[in-house]
């Protein structure tokens, strides 16, 4: 992915990493903030994330429980990787999201992700706020 572009976002969440991890890895919770997915937090697991506009093929690349999760995010011509990093803080968790592998900043994939991820993170925050500890 030489010369590839990335989208990077961070959020401070008032929830401990274990709770954030559950929302990132349990399919019924992922469905509430992102979309319907066949997912298991196991390296090599392949699944598909379904949206009203189409589907994204995913393969889990990295699983470091409560710390780091990475999976491919492939749709059409896009070949990218989504990486979540969780860092405990005194107030909860610093959540770092990076989607890497965009050919150009002007591509429809890059523009879609740049618009979509902030909305998905807002929805994740809402799921975390209502989920039991």
| In the chain, % of residues over pLDDT 70 | 94
- Over residues 2-16, the mean pLDDT reads 89
Number of domains in the chain: 1
The token duo for 23 is: 């929302």
CATH number of the structural domain spanning residue 87:
3.30.530.20
- Over residues 98-124, the mean pLDDT reads 91
Question: Residue 59 pairs with which residues in a beta bridge?
Answer: 46
Region of 101 please: left (phi>0), alpha (psi -120 to 50) or beta. Answer: left
> What is the signed CA dihedral for 111, 61, 26, 55, rounded to 10 degrees?
40
Looking at per-residue confidence, does 57 or 103 come out higher? 57
Domain that holds residue 51: 5-130
Position 51 confidence tier, pLDDT thresholds 50, 70, 90: confident
Q: pTM to 2 decimals?
A: 0.92
pLDDT in tens, 61-102: 999 999 999 999 999 889 999 999 999 999 999 999 999 999
């Amino acid at each position: 992915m030489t010369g590839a572009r990335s989208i990077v976002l961070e959020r401070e969440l008032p929830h401990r990493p274990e709770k954030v991890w559950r929302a990132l890895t349990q399919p019924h919770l992922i469905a509430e903030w992102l979309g319907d997915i066949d997912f298991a937090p196991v390296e090599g697991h392949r699944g598909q994330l379904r949206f009203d506009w189409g589907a994204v093929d995913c393969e889990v690349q990295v699983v470091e429980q409560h710390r780091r999760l990475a999976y491919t995010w492939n749709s059409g011509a896009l070949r990218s990787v989504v990486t979540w990093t969780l860092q405990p803080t005194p107030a909860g968790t610093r959540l770092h999201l990076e989607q890497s592998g965009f050919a150009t900043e002007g591509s429809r994939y890059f523009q879609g992700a740049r618009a979509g991820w902030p909305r998905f993170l807002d929805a994740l925050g809402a799921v975390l706020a209502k989920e039991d500890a």
